[in-house]
């Protein structure tokens, strides 16, 4: 049986390569979009770096300096990073490792649903059909920029381990459920919050022996507390209007994405992509066929998961998520309640497995046709991928070798902040730059000064301990050139080195203090300083 599972896992990996083509031949440089994938590449890389160099300070990441627990302004993705550690140890670079996470995320989604479908039907082929649907449903392709949402396999694996335990309670099976619960929480905080609600509802239905599973789950929960404490410390909260904007409407369940070709007529660019929730017609047909099954227990569980997912996706339009948002820790930080749909997709995958088993009771080969039909219905390849800037510019190699105390890159803009995070995978030095759904107050203050090219910017940077400024001269406008000239003239900053269009400045200890003789910039007299200003402003 283990050999059969291994073969099925290999099948889903092969399908993941086919359905995301041409990601595999461009794995070193392809990204779904030149924004969020850079954040996630940085997070996965930081998890690897911090585990080796500062394991007790994982959340003190190098972005958003001088904020503490700065990793907590995003998802930590530590469970995904753990599985990528062997690849990083073998020398796989950050972008390629991120893309391996995308491929394995699709494959694990399929394999997890396969295990669930096989358990509830006893049919491996029905499980494969469920896995193909769940792995490649449109939601997964909508979230190509979010590796944590491509990684949907942890939820059905967690449910599978609970149902397996309920069939024959034992401490071994309870520990496997706890491991699945822990891993799910380490991969995706959304799945931790949403999945915990759905699992609790399932426990009320199956009523398993509680002592072993509660004891093992308590240990897993204590480990998760270590990873959740920083989120409590930074106090992330969404506004009511923000969560309302990303709460789905019932009609959004009939909106398809721009990757799927079969349902082009269901596209609506006026609806936010987070609310494109249509799972495909074939899954709905098989869900209807599943109602002919005599396995009422399975249908009840699937119905509960679908109900929780659909109602939850409506977010603040219903009392369900409104209550969680207002009263339960963690849910106030959820920006997109529509992602509750992932829970409904697990329930729908159960119905797909049951429906496939119903129509193939006497002809098992029909399950193979169902899986092929899903591949045709959900086919999105070739997918459009963007090319990431994977060459490490010389200035970042210098930063990595010299390791200054803290840096900032100017000018600051959302587009450049994403790229700064990507390049931070080459040096891991504390930097003011960063971007996420949340930002610390000090960053917001500095970003405002940088946007205005305020003369107070250097004073603020000096106050918080920044020692070096990287200025991308090719991106400077007239205001930025003027600011740089004034800062040099006032002896606030001194040019240390030039790397093509990248200029590296040091921040002087104080305005009144003369620059160090060791500085590589010639600034010992007014005439030389004026000449330096002329050179800089002419870049």
Instruction: From 443, 388, 445, select the one nearest 418 (Cα to Cα).
Output: 388
Q: Is 328 left (phi over 0), alpha (psi -120 to 50) or beta?
A: beta
Residue 139 in contact with residue 263, Cβ under 8 Å?
no
Identify which of 335, 251, 444, 399 has the alpha carbon closest to the alpha carbon of residue 36. Answer: 335
Residue 288 confidence (pLDDT) above 90: yes
CA distance linking residue 378 with residue 135, whole number of Å? 10
DSSP 152-214: -THHHHHHHHHHHHHHS--HHHHHHHHHHHHHHHHH-HHHHHHHHHHHHHHHHHH---HHHHH
For 274, half-sphere exposure in the C-beta direction (CA atoms, 13 angstrom radius) is 18
* Gap between the Cα atoms of 333 and 355, Å rounded: 37
Whole-angstrom CA distances from 287 to 38, 199, 336, 350 are: 38, 21, 26, 8
Give the confidence band of 362 by pLDDT, cuts at 50, 70, 90: low
Strands 468-472, 386-387: pairing is unpaired
Which sign does the torsion angle of CA 522, 526, 531, 537 carry? positive
CA distances, 417 to each of 46, 225, 441, 503 (Å): 16, 30, 16, 17
Q: What is the pLDDT of residue 474?
A: 93
Which pLDDT score, from 0 to 100, does residue 1 have? 58
Query: Which among 362, 392, 404 is positioned nearest to 502, based on CA atoms?
Result: 392
Helix and strand counts by DSSP (H, E) for the chain: 23, 6
What does the pLDDT read at residue 529?
Answer: 43
Encode pLDDT of 516-528 as tens digits: 333 333 333 344 4
Q: What pLDDT is stored for residue 116 in this prediction? A: 98
Q: For residues 12 and 114, is the Cβ–Cβ distance under 8 A?
A: yes
Structure confidence at residue 236 (pLDDT): 79
- Rounded CA-CA distance 251/289 in Å is 23
Q: 3-class secondary structure for 215-245?
A: HHHHHHHHHHHHHHHHHHHHCCCCCHHHHHH
Which tokens belong to 93?
């670079």
Q: Which helix (H) or strand (E) holds 471?
A: strand 468-472
Strand partners, 409: 470
**Do residues 255 and 277 lie in contact, with contact meaning Cβ atoms separated by under 8 Å?**
yes
Greater pLDDT, 361 or 417: 417
> Based on C-alpha coordinates, what's the Rg of the chain?
26
Tokens of 106: 């699709």
pLDDT at 534 over 50: no
Can you tell me the distance from the alpha carbon of 121 to that of 114, in angstroms, rounded to the nearest whole number?
Answer: 10
Please say whether the beta carbons of 449 and 457 come within 8 A.
yes
At residue 368, the pLDDT reads 86
Strand ranges across the sheet with 468-472: 407-410, 468-472, 502-507, 493-499
CA atoms within 13 A on the CB side of 3: 0
Task: Give the span between the Cα atoms of 431 and 469, in whole angstroms.
Answer: 10
Tell how far CA 374 is from the center of its chain. Answer: 26
Question: If you ran DSSP here, which 8-state letter would residue 354 be given?
Answer: H
Length, in residues, of the chain: 539
Q: How confident is the model at residue 363 (pLDDT cuts 50, 70, 90)?
A: confident
Q: pLDDT per residue over 52-97, tens digit each?
A: 999 999 999 999 999 999 999 999 999 999 999 999 999 999 999 9
Which residue's entry shows tokens 């450049």? Answer: 416
Side-chain-facing half-sphere of 238: CA atoms under 13 Å: 24
Is the pLDDT at 231 greater than 70, yes or no?
yes
Which residues touch 442 (CB under 8 Å, ≥6 apart)? 64, 66, 67, 464
User: In this predicted structure, what is the pLDDT of residue 276?
Assistant: 97
Gap between the Cα atoms of 449 and 412, Å rounded: 10
pLDDT at 361: 78
Q: Return the structure tokens found at 185.
A: 């929480």
> Average pLDDT over the chain, rounded to whole?
92
Res 513: pLDDT? 40
């Amino acid at each position: 049986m283990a050999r059969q599972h291994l073969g099925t896992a290999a099948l889903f990996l092969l399908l993941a390569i086919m359905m995301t083509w041409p990601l595999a031949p461009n794995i070193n440089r392809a990204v779904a979009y030149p924004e969020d994938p850079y954040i996630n590449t940085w997070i996965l890389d930081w998890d690897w770096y911090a585990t080796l160099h500062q394991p007790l300070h994982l959340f003190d990441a190098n972005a958003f300096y001088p904020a503490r627990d700065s990793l907590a302004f995003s998802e930590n993705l530590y469970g995904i990073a753990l599985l990528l550690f062997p690849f990083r140890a073998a020398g796989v670079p950050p972008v390629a490792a991120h893309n391996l996470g995308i491929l394995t995320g699709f494959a694990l989604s399929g394999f997890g649903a396969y295990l669930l479908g096989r358990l509830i039907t006893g049919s491996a082929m029905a499980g494969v059909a469920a896995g193909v649907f769940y792995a490649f449903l449109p939601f997964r392709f909508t979230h190509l920029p979010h590796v944590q949402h491509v990684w949907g396999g942890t939820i059905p694996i967690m449910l599978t381990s609970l149902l397996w335990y309920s069939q024959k309670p034992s401490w071994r099976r309870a520990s496997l459920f706890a491991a699945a619960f822990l891993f799910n929480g380490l991969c995706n905080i959304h799945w931790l919050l949403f999945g915990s609600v759905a699992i609790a509802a399932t426990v009320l239905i199956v009523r398993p022996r509680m002592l072993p599973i509660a004891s093992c789950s308590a240990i897993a929960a204590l480990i998760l507390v270590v990873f959740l404490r920083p989120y409590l410390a930074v106090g992330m909260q969404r506004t009511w209007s923000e969560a309302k904007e990303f709460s789905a409407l019932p009609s959004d369940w009939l909106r398809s994405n721009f990757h799927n070709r079969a349902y082009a007529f269901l596209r609506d660019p006026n609806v936010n992509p987070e609310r494109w929730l249509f799972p495909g017609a074939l899954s709905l047909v098989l869900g209807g066929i599943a109602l002919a099954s005599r396995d009422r227990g399975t249908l009840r569980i699937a119905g509960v998961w679908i109900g929780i997912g659909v109602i939850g996706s409506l977010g603040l339009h219903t009392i369900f998520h409104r209550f969680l948002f207002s009263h339960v820790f963690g849910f106030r930080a959820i920006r997109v309640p529509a992602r509750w749909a992932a829970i409904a997709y697990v329930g729908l995958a159960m119905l797909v497995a049951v429906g496939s088993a119903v129509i193939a009771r006497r002809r098992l080969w029909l399950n193979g046709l169902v899986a092929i039909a899903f591949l045709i219905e959900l086919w999105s390849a070739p997918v459009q991928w963007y090319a990431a800037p994977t060459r490490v510019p010389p200035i970042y190699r210098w930063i990595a070798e010299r390791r200054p105390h803290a840096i900032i890159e100017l000018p600051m803009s959302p587009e450049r902040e994403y790229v700064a995070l990507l390049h931070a995978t080459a040096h891991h030095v504390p930097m003011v730059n960063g971007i996420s759904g949340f930002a610390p107050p000090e960053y917001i203050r500095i970003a405002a000064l940088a946007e205005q090219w305020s003369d107070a910017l250097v004073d603020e940077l000096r106050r918080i301990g920044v020692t070096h400024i990287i200025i991308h001269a090719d991106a400077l406008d007239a205001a930025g050139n003027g600011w740089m000239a004034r800062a040099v003239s006032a002896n606030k900053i001194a040019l240390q080195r030039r790397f093509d269009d990248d200029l590296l400045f040091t921040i002087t200890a104080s305005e009144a203090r003369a620059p160090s003789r060791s500085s590589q910039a010639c600034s010992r007299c007014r005439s030389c300083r004026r000449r330096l200003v002329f050179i800089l402003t002419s870049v």
